[in-house]
Chains A and B, each alone.
Chain A
Amino acid sequence: MLTLLILFPLAAAALALLLPWHRGRSWLLAVSGGLHLLLTGILVSASGVWPGPWIGIDPLSRVVLPVTSLLFFGCSVYAVGYLGLRRDRGNRVIVACLLVFLSAMTLAIAARHLGLLWMAVETTTIASAPLIYYNRNRLSIEATWKYLLLCSVGIALAMLGILFIAYAALVGGGAPVSLQFDTLLAAAAGLSPPWLHAGFVFLLVGFGTKMGLAPLHSWKPDAYGEAPGMVGALLAGGLTSVAFLAILRAVQLMTAAGDGAMARQALLGMGLLSLLLAAVFMVRQPDIKRLLAYSSVEHMGILAIGVGIGGLATFGAMLHLVNNALTKGCLFLSAGNIQRAYDSKRLSEVHGAIATLPVSGSLFLAGFLAITGSPPFGLFISEFTILRGIFASGQGWIGLLMLLLLGMVFIGMGATVLTATQGEPVTLDTAFKDNLLLVASPLVFLLLVLLLGVYLPEPLQTALQEAANLLEVQP
């Protein structure tokens, strides 16, 4: 079943390359997204944990997999409308790359072998590079080159980290030299501490580059700014969650080896730095998509802080991961619509979006309220849970600092978003109009985030709690 989930998008990608029919390829993407979501639903609702030697589902993947799948399905429905607008660009390559990207993300989420995990994450980098280059202009080349080179080098360092962990098993002597994750967890106490620590640091740096934690985030504003809106949504909501999952695997290993405290300190430091840098760069940001990219850096920082604090905050971070992915989906897709309509993403041209594009403009404004943690949206609950966790752990100054920075983000982001959405309607040069395909997905994402803010379903709560326990309790 799980194997099917990973392999069928690849088959669909091959089909997309062969199919000589523009609209057919777009729909193939949406149908594959729907099938993936359906299979994921069946797979995740089956109770019990079944880790295999290579791939398997554990509580952490049970949280990340449905979110990624749902986000992809939403983006694939949007893509049918979007690719229809851009017939001149052709969609053969982008559809195939999106499907390979889906397959690689699924493999990374399900991987139970560190080598396999690495391979899948590197494949996501390669498959998403052509997606960022979709617009084929000077700016998108620059963004693609930075993304490709920085992430490849980052991921190469993660490989070194993985090798260090294998070497820790070799030097420690007590453990079999294997990179199978369950074997490693079981033998974690026998790993040689210096090599394990070095391995963790390299994994954090490597996958942290991919996740976009400061100070390794420099590719992010460029890539998110130049990529089409739906690609931005998939990168900011899906890929970052997958990279975070990879870091959590390393945290799991460190916790099992009894060095969880060190791992948490490192995450906490990087998280605070991300929040700080993002807040600084969001003030007076004149570009709405770069603004969203810094918002992504900010939320990766919040996730890292949540896990760094531990306890209740870890649960908050798991919930935050779900909320962040869905809200980023809403924001990037509606920002994509605004960009298409105004043929610009800079504040000098974009204003009066609500009057001009009632649905997309309102969605963008509502998405802004959601992402900055205003009640009654889900992010209010998750950020509040993380803050409660911080104050309960007795590190009040971190909580105060975080509150201060969140306030700064709200003001900085608000200034840009309000300028873009409020004001008199503008006569547009483009023929763009909101239509059902282009607004349905962001609307559904936003409603889900709203729902999560009012009511947290029992099964989801259990799943999040189990995932958080995996990072807390020593097995």
Chain B
Amino acid sequence: MTDLLLLSVILINFFTLGSARLVACIRAVALQGALLALLPPVSHGLSGHTLLLGGTALLFKGIFIPWLLLRAIREVRIRREMEPFIGFVPTLVLGALVTAGAFVFADFLPLAHQHHAGLFVPTAMATMFSGFLLLITRRKALTQVLGYLMLENGIFIFAVLLAEAMPLAVEAGILLDLLVGIFVMGIVINHISREFSTLNTERLTALKE
């Protein structure tokens, strides 16, 4: 069950890397967040801690944040990611390479013995790398936010391994920070589109030496 969840997370990485439609990308990342919310109860068993953690993650990552982002693009009326710095097919190939790399690399890591066989660590790394790829290769401010979210999702997978180290209050605070951060980014995106009539961040180049 855990492996199935993690494999779908990897598939969503690929879908987001290859898709040009912003709404579809936001939905995909929302689905990814929702799947990750199932991870704590599924891998650690049902308990108050895991249920609350999963519930908060579902609420924030699966519902609130996508809603904020969908609202942001409804107001700016932009639907597609045009002309990324690196084309969609090359990004997909790169994505496949880093995912394969993550699986190979995970074998060399000095993991605790109970994590050797699992998909947790490679999936976490693959998701983080995919997030980075999105951040680097896309021009739209919104896709960059999605990249940041995906990076956070990857870190969340790793955090689930260490659920006992993170008290619930801290975990909830971290998710709240993420939510407010995305909220502020949404506002800035709105202002970018109003000032520049575009969401392309390459227009943001007035400040340099």
Contact partners of B165 in chain A: CB under 8 A:
163, 166, 169-170, 177-179
Q: Tell me whether A141 and B192 are in contact in the complex, defined as CB-CB below 8 angstroms, given that A115-B170, A129-B184, A166-B165 are known contacts.
A: yes
Contact segment of B7-15, B16-24, B172-180: B172-180
Q: Tell me whether A166 and B135 are in contact in the complex, defined as CB-CB below 8 angstroms, given that A138-B196, A141-B188, A148-B185 are known contacts.
A: no
Contact A115 B191 (CB under 8 A): no
CB interface residues, A 323-347, toward B, < 8 Å:
none
Q: Tell me whether A156 and B177 are in contact in the complex, defined as CB-CB below 8 angstroms, given that A133-B188, A163-B159, A222-B207 are known contacts.
A: no
CB interface residues, A 126-148, toward B, < 8 Å:
126, 129-130, 133, 136-139, 141-146, 148
Band of interface residues on A: 35 or more
Contact B207 A226 (CB under 8 A): yes
Task: Say how far A142's CB is from chain B's closest CB, in angstroms.
Answer: 4
Q: Does A225 contact B (CB under 8 A)?
A: yes
Contact B148 A156 (CB under 8 A): yes
Q: Does A113 contact B (CB under 8 A)?
A: yes
Bound form: Cα–Cα A76–B181 in Å: 25
Contact A113 B170 (CB under 8 A): yes
Q: Tell me whether A145 and B192 are in contact in the complex, defined as CB-CB below 8 angstroms, given that A115-B167, A160-B155, A170-B112 are known contacts.
A: yes
Q: Does B198 contact A (CB under 8 A)?
A: no
Bound form: Cα–Cα A142–B192 in Å: 8
Contact partners of B42 in chain A: CB under 8 A:
none
Contact A141 B166 (CB under 8 A): no
Contact B148 A118 (CB under 8 A): no
Q: Tell me whether A163 and B177 are in contact in the complex, defined as CB-CB below 8 angstroms, given that A115-B167, A115-B170, A138-B206 are known contacts.
A: no
Q: Tell me whether A156 and B158 are in contact in the complex, defined as CB-CB below 8 angstroms, given that A130-B184, A146-B204, A192-B110 are known contacts.
A: no
Contact A115 B174 (CB under 8 A): yes
Main secondary structure of the interface of A (DSSP, over half): helix
Main secondary structure of the interface of B (DSSP, over half): helix
Bound form: Cα–Cα A284–B167 in Å: 51
Contact A145 B162 (CB under 8 A): no
Per-residue CB proximity of A139-179 to B under 8 Å, as 1/0? 10111111011001100100110010011011100000111
Contact B148 A153 (CB under 8 A): yes
Contact B177 A126 (CB under 8 A): yes
Q: Does A125 contact B (CB under 8 A)?
A: yes
Contact A153 B151 (CB under 8 A): yes
Bound form: Cα–Cα A222–B204 in Å: 11
Q: Does B201 contact A (CB under 8 A)?
A: yes
Contact partners of B166 in chain A: CB under 8 A:
115, 166, 179
Chain A residue with the shortest CB-CB distance to B147: A153
Q: Does A384 contact B (CB under 8 A)?
A: no
Q: Tell me whether A148 and B184 are in contact in the complex, defined as CB-CB below 8 angstroms, given that A119-B177, A163-B159 are known contacts.
A: yes
Bound form: Cα–Cα A139–B207 in Å: 7
Band of interface residues on B: 35 or more
Q: Does A194 contact B (CB under 8 A)?
A: yes
Chain B residue with the shortest CB-CB distance to A294: B209
Task: Say how far A14's CB is from chain B's closest CB, in angstroms.
Answer: 15
Q: Tell me whether A139 and B162 are in contact in the complex, defined as CB-CB below 8 angstroms, given that A115-B170, A152-B148, A195-B110 are known contacts.
A: no
Contact partners of A149 in chain B: CB under 8 A:
135, 144, 148, 185
Task: Say how far A205's CB is from chain B's closest CB, in angstroms.
Answer: 13
Contact partners of B184 in chain A: CB under 8 A:
126, 129-130, 148
Bound form: Cα–Cα A125–B184 in Å: 10
Contact partners of B144 in chain A: CB under 8 A:
149
Q: Does A391 contact B (CB under 8 A)?
A: no
Contact B207 A177 (CB under 8 A): no
Contact partners of A138 in chain B: CB under 8 A:
195-196, 206
Bound form: Cα–Cα A113–B166 in Å: 10
Contact B170 A141 (CB under 8 A): no
Task: Say how far A267's CB is from chain B's closest CB, in angstroms.
Answer: 24
Per-residue CB proximity of A342-383 to B under 8 Å, as 1/0? 000000000000000000000000000000000000000000
Contact A166 B111 (CB under 8 A): no
Contact partners of B148 in chain A: CB under 8 A:
149, 152-153, 156
Chain B residue with the shortest CB-CB distance to A122: B177
Contact A123 B177 (CB under 8 A): yes
Q: Does B161 contact A (CB under 8 A)?
A: yes
Q: Tell me whether A171 and B170 are in contact in the complex, defined as CB-CB below 8 angstroms, given that A148-B184, A156-B152 are known contacts.
A: no
Chain A residue with the shortest CB-CB distance to B166: A115
Task: Say how far A248's CB is from chain B's closest CB, in angstroms.
Answer: 21
Chain B residue with the shortest CB-CB distance to A219: B207
Q: Does B141 contact A (CB under 8 A)?
A: yes
CB interface residues, A 296-315, toward B, < 8 Å:
none
Bound form: Cα–Cα A141–B193 in Å: 10
Bound form: Cα–Cα A30–B56 in Å: 37
Q: Does B164 contact A (CB under 8 A)?
A: yes
Bound form: Cα–Cα A152–B147 in Å: 12
Interface centre among A115, A130, A221 (most CB of B within 10 A): A115
Q: Tell me whether A171 and B112 are in contact in the complex, defined as CB-CB below 8 angstroms, given that A113-B170, A129-B188, A144-B188 are known contacts.
A: yes
Contact partners of B161 in chain A: CB under 8 A:
167, 170
Contact partners of B209 in chain A: CB under 8 A:
221, 281
Q: Tell me whether A163 and B192 are in contact in the complex, defined as CB-CB below 8 angstroms, given that A130-B184, A145-B141, A156-B151 are known contacts.
A: no
Bound form: Cα–Cα A141–B199 in Å: 12
What is A's interface to B at a CB cutoff of 8 Å?
Answer: 113, 115-116, 118-119, 122-123, 125-126, 129-130, 133, 136-139, 141-146, 148-149, 152-153, 156, 159-160, 163, 166-167, 169-171, 177-179, 192, 194-195, 221-222, 225-226, 281
* Known A141-B192, A145-B188, A156-B152; further 4 A-B contacts with Cβ < 8 A: A142-B207, A156-B151, A159-B174, A167-B161
The 7 closest A-B pairs by CB, nearest first: A115-B170, A166-B165, A142-B204, A222-B207, A119-B173, A122-B177, A166-B162
Would you mind naming 19 contact pairs between A and B with Cβ atoms under 8 Å apart? A122-B177, A126-B180, A136-B191, A138-B206, A139-B206, A141-B192, A142-B205, A145-B192, A148-B184, A148-B185, A149-B135, A149-B144, A149-B148, A153-B135, A160-B155, A163-B158, A170-B112, A177-B162, A221-B207
